[in-house]
């Protein structure tokens, strides 16, 4: 799938696969120049190519839609065992000026770099065979307690070394050592190069770049935090009528450009670690509610599932107090003690109206009743919910969460946990026909609905949802900006169709 080699073992014959500059870095190490330990990783060409070939990149109109689906599928690729083995016990890494603190985050960052490179090729040349070939191999540096990093080169015209500090501060003694290090490295390589460096215990070289003389010498060093970028101004998110909800069930990064937050508590609260997971759950609720005081925070009660046909969802919450009580205690702390009243409740996986009514009674006993400041949403995850939707509306609710992945698995009769059956997920025509009348009823009753699940970003499904007046889409953090653009393009296309263009 991928090739991984430690920097120290790279030889001239490896330059075709791992890059000549990375091999140069290894040469410096063997020449007794202090080089930070690390590895060189090549892109998973086969996986990238087979994934891209499944999607349509023929027209610019569907370009971003297809690329968003590609990202979602690629990000689901598990971390290769070879990479995990080479990383060993290291937990902090330096990758392209970004400090990364977990193996999973490192793998996602690597995939993102290669996907951005593919995107650039698609924009310039369109889709072609071999588009995933010769992607840039990436150097991953192991760090422990990084004090600063940056770049530097020797300017022959000024007869001096130019050093740029990108993060942290460098001690004058280390500055002098770095000046000597760059001069010595240039002598070893015979021709001038630009070097990337890090202070991690001591000064070390972490990268080699070609040196191109410039006319002006920067006299001010730019300092920024790892992960923020190199001074590039972040562009505003494209606006759309459909709201974008951030799924904060995993990860701790809160995006600013979203219209609301969705938290599925079953992904956070762990019955085997009740105390730690409870604190994590409360932290996420407080963080999201205070970050977005004017936006809805939809808190889904835990749907602990053991497979299709098992006791789960609302039925389990009604009968298992060890699961129900901690969630209610978290809500009590958030809404009654912290006064964060923008947090609302989503009732999960209901199999019948009676279950829904019982859950409403249990919530009312704990002083959580529907009112202006507290909305009660229903997760629609089984076909029964659509068939009897009018009865649920009569029972009283404020919104609906369409769990499209669950709906299509029950409607098409496959278990989503079995990978060999997931191709049924692409058969969406029956699902769209089945939920159409229900969405009309919601629209007529002025009840908002949001879409949840990977299926919601399929082009055909997304266009259908926008046409039926979907209130919002729940997406992962890395999908926020691309989803907003997708929604904008879909809305614009539908407007043109209605206008007869």
pLDDT for res 159:
67
Q: Does residue 233 carry a pLDDT above 90?
A: no
pLDDT for res 309:
62
471 CB-near residues (< 8 Å, 6+ apart) = 242, 243, 399, 448, 449, 450
> Could you tell me what percent of the chain has a pLDDT over 90?
28
Q: Does residue 37 carry a pLDDT above 60?
A: yes
Looking at residues 321-326, what average pLDDT do you find? 93
Q: Grade residue 387 by pLDDT with cuts at 50, 70 and 90.
A: very high
For residues 264 and 313, give the distance between their C-alpha atoms in angstroms, rounded to a whole number.
Answer: 12
- Decide: helix, strand or coil at residue 472: strand
pLDDT for res 385:
95
pLDDT for res 391:
94
Looking at residues 205-218, what average pLDDT do you find? 64
Least confident among 220-224, 408-412, 459-463: 220-224
DSSP string covering 137-189, please? Answer: PEEEEE-SS--EEEEEEEETTTTEEEEEEEEE---HHHHHHHHHHHHHHHHHH
pLDDT for res 114:
77
pLDDT for res 66:
64
> Could you tell me what percent of the chain has a pLDDT over 70?
83
- Decide: helix, strand or coil at residue 470: coil
For residues 287 and 298, give the distance between their C-alpha atoms in angstroms, rounded to a whole number.
Answer: 13
For residues 265 and 327, give the distance between their C-alpha atoms in angstroms, rounded to a whole number.
Answer: 8
Give this prediction's pTM: 0.55
Q: What is the pLDDT of residues 291-309, one digit of tens each?
A: 888 899 999 999 988 655 6
68-to-107, 242, 454, 483 alpha-carbon distances in Å: 18, 17, 11, 8
Mean pLDDT, the chain, as a whole number? 81
For residues 65 and 430, give the distance between their C-alpha atoms in angstroms, rounded to a whole number.
Answer: 22
Q: Does residue 499 carry a pLDDT above 70?
A: no
Q: What is the pLDDT of residues 111-158, one digit of tens each?
A: 888 777 877 777 666 666 777 777 888 888 888 888 888 888 777 666
Q: Grade residue 190 by pLDDT with cuts at 50, 70 and 90.
A: confident
Least confident among 95-104, 265-274, 289-298, 310-319: 95-104
**Segment (H or E) for 325:** helix 321-331
23-to-5, 13, 28, 292, 410 alpha-carbon distances in Å: 11, 9, 9, 48, 53
Least confident among 83-92, 120-129, 333-342, 370-379: 120-129
pLDDT for res 322:
92
pLDDT for res 228:
41
Q: Grade residue 375 by pLDDT with cuts at 50, 70 and 90.
A: very high
pLDDT for res 416:
63
Write down the number of H helices and E strands in the chain.
17, 17
Looking at residues 480-493, what average pLDDT do you find? 79
Q: What is the pLDDT of residues 396-439, one digit of tens each?
A: 999 999 999 999 988 888 766 655 555 666 788 899 999 999 99
Q: Does residue 384 carry a pLDDT above 90?
A: yes
pLDDT for res 184:
84
Q: Grade residue 253 by pLDDT with cuts at 50, 70 and 90.
A: low
229-to-146, 307, 356 alpha-carbon distances in Å: 17, 42, 48
pLDDT for res 423:
62
Q: What is the pLDDT of residues 114-123, one digit of tens each?
A: 777 877 777 6
Looking at residues 330-341, what average pLDDT do you find? 92
């Amino acid at each position: 799938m991928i090739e991984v080699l430690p920097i120290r073992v790279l030889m001239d014959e490896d330059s075709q696969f791992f890059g000549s500059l990375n091999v140069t870095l290894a040469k410096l190490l063997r020449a007794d120049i202090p080089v930070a330990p690390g590895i060189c990783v090549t892109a998973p060409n086969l996986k990238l190519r087979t994934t891209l070939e499944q999607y349509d990149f023929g027209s610019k109109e569907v370009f971003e839609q297809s690329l968003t689906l590609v990202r979602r599928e690629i990000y689901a690729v598990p971390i290769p065992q070879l990479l995990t083995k080479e990383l060993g016990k290291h937990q902090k890494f330096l990758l392209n000026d970004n400090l990364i603190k977990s193996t999973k985050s490192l793998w996602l960052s690597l995939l993102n770099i290669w996907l951005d490179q593919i995107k650039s090729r698609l924009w310039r040349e369109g889709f072609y065979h071999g588009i995933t070939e010769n992607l840039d191999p990436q150097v991953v540096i192991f760090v422990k307690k990084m004090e600063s990093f940056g770049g530097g080169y020797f300017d022959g015209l000024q007869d001096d070394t130019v050093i740029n500090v990108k993060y942290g501060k460098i001690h004058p003694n280390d500055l002098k050592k770095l000046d000597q290090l760059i001069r010595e490295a240039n002598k070893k390589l015979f021709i001038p190069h630009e070097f990337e460096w890090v202070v991690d215990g001591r000064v070390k070289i972490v990268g080699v770049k070609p040196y191109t003389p410039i006319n002006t010498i920067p006299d001010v060093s730019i300092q920024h935090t790892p992960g923020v970028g190199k001074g590039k101004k972040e562009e505003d998110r494209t606006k759309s009528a459909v709201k974008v909800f951030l799924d904060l069930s995993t990860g701790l990064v809160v995006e600013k450009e979203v219209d609301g937050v969705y938290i599925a508590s079953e992904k956070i609260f762990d019955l085997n670690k009740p105390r730690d997971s409870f604190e994590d759950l409360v932290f996420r609720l407080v963080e999201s509610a205070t970050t977005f005081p004017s936006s809805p925070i939809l808190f889904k009660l835990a749907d602990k599932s053991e497979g299709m046909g098992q006791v789960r969802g609302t039925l389990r919450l009604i009968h298992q107090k060890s699961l129900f009580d901690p969630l209610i205690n978290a809500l009590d702390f958030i809404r009654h003690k912290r006064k964060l009243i923008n947090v609302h409740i989503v009732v999960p996986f209901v199999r019948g109206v009676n279950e829904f009514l019982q859950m409403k009674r249990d919530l009312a006993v704990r002083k959580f009743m529907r009112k202006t400041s507290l909305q009660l949403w229903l997760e629609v995850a089984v076909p029964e919910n659509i068939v009897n939707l009018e009865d649920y509306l009569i029972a009283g609710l404020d919104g609906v969460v369409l769990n499209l992945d669950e709906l299509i698995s029950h409607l098409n009769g496959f278990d989503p946990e079995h990978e060999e059956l997931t191709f049924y997920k692409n058969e969406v025509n029956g699902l769209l026909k089945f939920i159409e009348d229900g969405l009309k009823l919601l629209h007529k009753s002025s009840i908002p609905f949001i879409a949840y699940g990977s299926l919601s970003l399929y082009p055909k499904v997304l266009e259908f949802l926008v046409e039926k007046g979907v209130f919002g889409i729940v997406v992962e953090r890395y999908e926020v900006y691309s989803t907003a653009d997708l929604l904008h393009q879909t809305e614009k296309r539908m407007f043109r169709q209605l206008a007869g263009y």
